[in-house]
């Protein structure tokens, strides 16, 4: 069964993406510095707001998990989870991370080693202790808390309040009332759509150059615009097959394979590399992070004004918040039948565990190469950038060709799951009556084609970075959106208190990979 297209959202959305992208590309030389100045202002003047927001969200999520509403089922009395816990966790992790975790788990510790916080001397032993620790912090529980809150509220709106659409505006109805269907609601949904374009830009900005560098190293093909476009074409073919198969047989299967391959590659690096050092270094880094968690969470460095919290922590929170509505919509859609406690706990657990695994193994291995003198990754980073660091790290491994091929395949699959999730969400937002229905296949494929064409165009004209920066600016109104979502949820929970159906968190998963009645008709 397929849902109908909402022309009032579909056509304005397509037009908006095309017009804004065109304007940013045409005027990119003048727009880029202006957008960068605005972004700097956001991270420097609102640093306190972003840090308080993230801590407060974590507090709200803890209240939802341990409080009386934790057992509320996201669905009706007879609704049960549609996916096994593994497939569910795989989809939410792949939608949230993409190629970002592959890139930053290798490169980010090097930045912290050469530019550490708290006045620590660059390149010192103390800097090395914080190198992976800060990665664990930035990609851990705090980051996933920014994703979890929208997912809970949207899921509650859709499965408990029976909203006819998967839109953030509908999830704000508890506060906005009828205004959720008016201009205010439309603005909210437009911001969400633009944040998805920026999320795609981020995945492309990190993933395509990284995959191109590894491809060039393996095949000898010179890195060029044509290679980048070829990568996007292959990526689109993989996505199209998955999108045509749908959520249950397409996105789920691709996400499962993604996690299997990601785990296999991580285990290989752990065993082939300095295993004991990696395990010991992760343990120490985790201790450093936990010992300094509140300092990392609330540091704004107002005295020495070194800029580290603003350049890294605050930027990350703004970036994650800008893409959180998109992730929230997708995670909400796949969470029917789960309890609120189950949803929150698993988003935090799956997301954090996956991120920590990659920072522990790839970050630890990279730092070992640097500290032992086996490779000067810091010099490579300065001379050739992050993709060159990735290539050098892979070439240092035993069976380097096999490792590089596996890394390459994983990069393609991660990119595909990112486009998969984005196109599904875009099609869902621009559809009506998505209860018991999938967005039309042509609709999902169309959004995927639009984003692929957009990606190729931006790479050809060099406008990828300016679109990516513009999307992060969406994070400012998202600050208000978080407040609306939180108030909506608390109001609904109190109003529905007498009719809530409770379930235990240890409720068994469905017996098969998928248990549903909403599968697409052939």
| Average pLDDT of span 445-465 | 72
pLDDT, greater one: 162 or 48? 48
**Do the beta carbons of residue 141 and residue 155 sit within 8 Å?**
no
Closest CA to 417 of 289, 232, 239, 218: 239
pLDDT higher than 90, residue 450: no
pLDDT higher than 80, residue 437: no
Closest CA to 179 of 164, 189, 194: 189
Query: For 90-141, what is each residue's pLDDT tens digit?
Result: 888 877 677 788 889 999 999 999 999 999 999 999 999 999 999 999 999 9
Band of the pLDDT at 379, cuts 50, 70, 90? very high
Q: Spell out a b/e string for 323-340, using b for 16 or more CB atoms within 10 Å of the CB, else e.
A: bbbbbbbbbbbbbbbbbb
Q: pLDDT value at position 432? A: 67
Q: pLDDT value at position 356? A: 95
| Average pLDDT of span 396-425 | 85
**Do the beta carbons of residue 326 and residue 425 sit within 8 Å?**
yes
pTM tops 0.75: yes
Query: For 508-518, what is each residue's pLDDT tens digit?
Result: 455 444 433 33
Q: pLDDT value at position 229? A: 84
% of the chain at pLDDT higher than 70: 87
Q: pLDDT value at position 505? A: 45
Q: What is the CA radius of gyration of the chain?
A: 22
Q: Cβ of 433: how many Cβ atoms within 10 Å?
A: 12
CA distance 439 to 244: 11
The region of weakest confidence among 69-73, 109-113, 227-231 is: 227-231
Angle between helices 28-45 and 47-66 (to 10 degrees): 60
pLDDT, greater one: 245 or 362? 362
In angstroms, how far is CA 18 from the centroid of its own chain?
A: 23
Q: What is the DSSP letter of 514?
A: B
DSSP string, 71-126: GBBSS-TT---SB-HHHHHHHHHHHHHTTHHHHHHHHHHHHHHHS-STTPPTTSHH
CA distance 439 to 417: 17
The region of weakest confidence among 251-255, 312-316, 377-381 is: 251-255
pLDDT higher than 50, residue 521: no
The region of weakest confidence among 247-261, 424-438, 487-501, 506-520 is: 506-520
Q: pLDDT value at position 468? A: 64
CA distance 80 to 35: 46
| Average pLDDT of span 204-227 | 84
- Secondary structure, 3-state, 153-214: HHHHHHHHCCCCCCCHHHHCHHHHHHHHHCHHHHHHHHHHHHHHHHHHHHHHHHHHHHHHHH
Q: pLDDT value at position 412? A: 82
Q: pLDDT value at position 89? A: 83
Residue with tokens 């981020």: 202
Query: Where is 4: in which H helix or E strand?
Result: strand 4-5
| Average pLDDT of span 318-347 | 88
The neighbouring-strand residues paired with 73 are: 339
Band of the pLDDT at 464, cuts 50, 70, 90? low
Q: pLDDT value at position 109? A: 97
Q: Which two tokens stand for residue 246?
A: 């749908």
Q: pLDDT value at position 504? A: 45
Q: Cβ of 274: how many Cβ atoms within 10 Å?
A: 16
Mean pLDDT of the chain: 83
């Amino acid at each position: 069964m397929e849902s109908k297209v909402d022309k009032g959202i579909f056509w304005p959305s397509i037009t908006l993406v095309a017009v804004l992208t065109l304007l940013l590309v045409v005027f990119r030389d003048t727009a880029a510095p202006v957008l960068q100045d605005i972004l700097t202002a956001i991270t420097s003047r609102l640093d306190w707001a972003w840090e308080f927001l993230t801590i407060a969200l974590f507090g709200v999520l803890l209240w939802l998990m341990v409080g009386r509403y934790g057992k509320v089922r996201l669905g009706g009395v007879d609704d049960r989870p549609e996916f096994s816990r593994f497939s569910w966790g795989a989809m939410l992790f792949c939608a949230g991370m993409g190629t970002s975790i592959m890139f930053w788990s290798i490169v980010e510790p090097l930045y912290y080693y050469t530019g550490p916080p708290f006045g620590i001397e660059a390149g010192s032993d103390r800097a090395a202790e914080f190198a992976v620790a800060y990665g664990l912090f930035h990609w851990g529980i705090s980051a996933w808390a920014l994703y979890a809150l929208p997912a809970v509220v949207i899921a509650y709106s859709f499965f408990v309040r029976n909203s006819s659409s998967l839109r953030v505006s509908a999830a704000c109805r508890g506060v906005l009332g009828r205004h959720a269907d008016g201009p205010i609601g439309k603005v909210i949904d437009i911001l969400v759509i633009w944040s998805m374009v920026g999320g795609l830009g981020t995945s492309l900005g990190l993933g395509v150059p990284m995959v191109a560098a590894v491809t060039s190293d393996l095949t000898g093909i010179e890195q060029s615009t044509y290679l980048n476009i070829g990568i996007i074409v292959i990526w689109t073919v993989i996505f199209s097959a998955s999108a045509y198969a749908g959520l249950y047989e397409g996105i789920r299967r691709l996400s499962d394979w993604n996690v299997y391959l990601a785990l296999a590659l991580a285990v290989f690096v752990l065993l082939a590399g300095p295993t004991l050092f990696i395990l010991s270094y992760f343990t120490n880094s985790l201790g450093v992070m936990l010992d300094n968690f509140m300092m990392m969470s609330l540091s704004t460095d107002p005295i020495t004004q070194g800029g580290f919290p603003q350049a890294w922590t605050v930027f990350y929170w703004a970036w994650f918040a800008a893409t959180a509505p998109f992730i929230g919509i997708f995670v909400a859609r796949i969470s029917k039948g789960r309890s609120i406690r189950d949803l929150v706990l698993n988003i935090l657990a799956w997301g954090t565990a996956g991120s920590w695994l990659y920072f522990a193994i790839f970050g630890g291995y990279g730092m070992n190469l640097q500290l032992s003198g086996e490779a000067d990754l810091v010099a490579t980073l300065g001379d050739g950038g992050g993709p060159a660091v990735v290539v050098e790290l892979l070439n240092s491994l035993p069976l380097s060709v096999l490792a590089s091929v596996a890394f390459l395949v994983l990069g393609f699959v991660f990119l595909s799951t990112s486009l998969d999730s984005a196109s599904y969400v875009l099609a869902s937002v621009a559809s009506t009556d998505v209860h018991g229905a999938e967005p039309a296949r042509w609709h999902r494929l169309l959004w995927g084609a639009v984003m692929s064409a957009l990606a190729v165009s931006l790479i050809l004209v060099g406008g990828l970075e300016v679109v990516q920066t513009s999307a992060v600016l969406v994070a400012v109104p998202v600050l208000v959106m978080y407040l609306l979502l939180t108030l909506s949820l608390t109001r609904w929970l109190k109003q529905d208190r007498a009719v809530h159906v409770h379930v235990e968190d240890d409720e068994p998963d469905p017996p098969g990979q998928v248990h549903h009645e909403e599968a697409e008709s052939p």
